[in-house]
A and B are shown apart, each in its own frame.
Chain A
Amino acid sequence: EVQLVESGGVLVQPGGSLRLSCAASGFMFSSYWVHWVRQVPGKGLEWVARIKNDGSSTTYADSVKGRFTISRDNAKNTMYLQMNSLRDEDTAVYYCAKAQYDHSPLAYWGQGTLVTVSS
């Protein structure tokens, strides 16, 4: 069974840092691109970042570029999102999702982890 399990979401102060994890199982993790998508509670979806299957290419939304870093460890079947200089507007549920290729839809999503940025 395909599973993506996010973790690491907590309450953090503005300006702080946080690392989210996404643990994968049930499929060949090293063969898939993986993405982060976020959703402010009660609002729409916003794509955040993606990383190629071998980690050699990353892309970010302008809203997080220079503050967030996506990475992966294929030996541990895990993807990460390092979030620095957090702002109130980064408060959201963060989902990880997998895609087969560069231009592929997000075929499977995790259940999300809530990040709250507040003083």
Chain B
Amino acid sequence: EIVLTQSPGTLSLSPGERATLSCRASQSVISSYLAWYQQRPGQAPTLLMYGASSRATGIPDRFSGSGSATDFTLIITRVEAEDSAVYYCQQYGSSPWTFGQGSKVE
């Protein structure tokens, strides 16, 4: 199975700062089938990005994704208070689907 390793574990930022989250895969992710999810405290996850770089419906453009093969990045430009959450990457190209361990943005 593909193991996804996220870094950093926790990122502490002030409003307006930039967040850079990394997701590294143990094997190449087929066709960039890589998604990012946001999970706010007490809530279910919501889809942010898919195909490594496409924003899901309704996601503001301060969120962007990039990468391919084994290295992927989620960037939040100008972090806002409502962005405080845990962010997970997930690959959906090879079974079993797997998630990273999460990165907390506070």
Contact = CB atoms under 8 A, between A and B. Distances in A.
Interface residues of B, number: 26
A47 B44 contact: no
Contact of B45 (A61, A103, A109): A109
A25 B37 CA distance: 22
Interface in A7-60: 35, 37, 44-47, 50, 59-60
Q: Which of A47, A62, A105 gathers most chain B CB within 10 Å?
A: A105
Interface residues of A, number: 23
Interface in B47-106: 47, 50, 56, 88, 90, 92-93, 95-102
Contacts of B35: 105-106
A104 interface: yes
B46 interface: yes
Interface of A: 35, 37, 44-47, 50, 59-62, 95, 99, 103-112
Interface of B: 1, 30-31, 33, 35, 37, 39, 43-47, 50, 56, 88, 90, 92-93, 95-102
